[in-house]
Amino acid sequence: MRASRAAVFCGAVACLLVAQAVAFAQTARPKSAGNKAAPTTEEAKKYIENAEKELFDLGLKASRASWVEENFITEDTEQIAADAGEVVNTASAKYAKEAHRFDSLKLAPELARKRLLLELATGFPAPDDPKAQKELAQILASLDGDYGKGKWCPDGQKGTCLDVTAVEKLMAESRDADELERAWVGWHAIGAPMRQRYARMVELGNAGARELGYADVGALWRSNYDMPTEDFAKEEDRLWEQLKPLYLSLHAYVRGQLRKKYGNELVPAKGPIPAHLLGNIWSQEWNNVYSLTDSPKPPQGYDLTKILQDRKTDAKGMVKYGESFFTSLGFVPLPPTFWERSLFTKPADRDVVCHASAWDVDFKEDLRIKMCIQIREEDFRTIHHELGHNFYQRAYMTQPPLFQSSANDGFHEAVGDAIALSVTPEYLKQIGLIEAVPPASGDIDYLLQQALAKVAFLPFGLLVDKWRWEVFAGQVKPGDYNKAWWELRRKYQGVAPPVERTEADFDPGAKYHIPSNTPYARYFLARILQFQFHRALCKEAGVAGPLHRCSIYGNKRAGEKLKHMLSMGQSKPWQDALETLTGQKQMDAMALADYFAPLKTWLDEQNKEKGYAVGW
């Protein structure tokens, strides 16, 4: 990640930057830890308080620099962001090293947690060498800029080039296999020029991580979860195994439906699904191929995209719907500056990073979102998600700087996602967007739509960091980057590239979170946690009936319970925050499995009836 972009939290269609570095990577150059005599508790207290104080100013400067760079992508703004990132990375790494001096002291619980978080403050550490620090900062800024400027030119002419938003739209709407293949190949070409810089970035980051006492950057990232690093990897695998049967059933059904559309030559009966046919550039979510499925459509169905467009809803109006959801729970409305400073639509005169993100620029009240909003259902839900980040940021702003973050980075994503789960037909009726709630006979269809986004994403959310952990650990060498990427995608997702790929390609670079260096495990965790949160909030709200029919809109009691957890920030281990809301201290995938249980039964019946093979 780039510490200079510490305030960024990205959404489901889009992303969230490492929360850990937000609060900590805000610093002037740290002072010496003092003499080398045995440290005292008072010395530790003064040192950590000084770190918190000094760490704030540069975080604000780096945050502003990053906002400008992502909204006005030029060589100059990239350099400004790189310079800010270099100072932040260097300072936070030095503090992280010096804080270890106090490891042997028995500190008060709050101070001990601050010391721990200070030691983990560096999201992507620079080595203790000025030249290496500058080189790493420039690489990070240039990779981010390359992605933001990335385009596919169908005719080879600059005037016809499509940016990521336009390519996403094309792949969401087109059902022409040849056109989809061209778009897929065209967009993935943006990764190839990043390859050598990315490999060098790995070298530099690993050097910095080793200086902090970690084997590599992956080990550092896995240390941010209040458990041993090896236990965290095992925990992810445990959760995946709980949900794998549901994914396999969905994969078999979707592959069979795509074969009906594209034929046996293009879509195999038992092999992986061609990646370009799933309605998404990265085939991470499949909701855009919903129209090709034969699920039982309810007689009172609705098309939210059409409704929003027919009502002439504009981008700001879309965001207003999201704000109203939170105010209905008892949250204070967004500040006027949010509406003045956010980016809601793509400018016609410049390149911007369109990936949806939520920002707390000054770690106080300067909340913003940056999103190239399209008037469609997907963006309607994404807006509710992004505002979840903003209201979380505001809830913990009264905490000390080192605690101004989510309980773990998955929590930040899960809160927004849990709110988006309340975007149900019942909610849409309450706010007047539809006249009638479809009957229970349409539940399978509704759950299928949800699963094409939520369940389809699970293996992708898992494999992105599995690939990076192997790269950081040296298990995957630069000469095998692409090979290892597609091996994992085949193993976990059951998808394959539409054309042959070689090591001249760098397909991971075509996914925002790789060049932006944003850890991705959070998104997998968020898929689990959001259903745990949703189940607990629905119980608090006293909503009866199936979990997938529950919306907490307008329920102040549920809102109070949510606010209580959000206000904790990172002051306690995430297990304590989870218990505050759900009564559980362990992540539990069964809430997600229960939510989709009726669909799982239906999918299994369909696969058996239609002769769809399960697996690849």
Mean pLDDT of 377-401: 93
Q: What is the pLDDT of residue 61?
A: 85
Mean pLDDT of 533-541: 97
Q: Is the pLDDT of residue 69 over 50?
A: yes
Other C-beta atoms closer than 10 Å to the C-beta of 142 total 20
305-361 tens-digit pLDDT: 999 999 999 999 999 999 999 999 999 999 999 999 999 999 988 888 888 899 998
194-241 tens-digit pLDDT: 999 999 999 999 999 998 889 999 999 999 999 998 899 999 999 999
For 496, phi and psi rounded to 5 degrees? -140, 155
Q: What is the pLDDT of residue 15?
A: 33
For 51, phi and psi rounded to 5 degrees? -60, -45
Residue 282's contacts (CB-CB under 8 Å, 6 or more residues apart) are 275, 460, 510, 511
Q: What is the pLDDT of residue 113?
A: 93
Q: Is the pLDDT of residue 376 over 80?
A: yes
Q: Which residue in 279, 295, 298 sits closest to 287, CA to CA?
A: 279
The answer to whether the CB of 430 falls within 8 A of the CB of 325 is: no
Mean pLDDT of 458-481: 98
Q: Is the pLDDT of residue 365 over 50?
A: yes
Q: What is the pLDDT of residue 109?
A: 93
Q: What is the pLDDT of residue 57?
A: 78
Which of 90-94, 123-127, 137-141, 469-473 is least confident? 90-94
358 - beta bridge partners?
9, 369
Q: What is the pLDDT of residue 4?
A: 30
More confident residue, 324 or 22: 324
DSSP labels, 439-486: PGGGHHHHHHHHHHHHHHHHHHHHHHHHHHHHHHTTSS-GGGHHHHHH
29-68 tens-digit pLDDT: 333 344 467 889 999 999 988 888 787 777 878 888 889 9
Average per-residue pLDDT for the chain: 89
What is the CA angle 37-43-48, rounded to 5? Answer: 125
Q: What is the pLDDT of residue 158?
A: 67
What is the CA angle 505-191-17, rounded to 5? Answer: 135
Q: Is the pLDDT of residue 7 over 80?
A: no
Model-level pTM? 0.85
Percent of the chain with pLDDT over 70: 94
Q: What is the pLDDT of residue 36?
A: 63
Domain residues of the chain, as ranges?
A: 3-225, 235-314+326-331+392-610
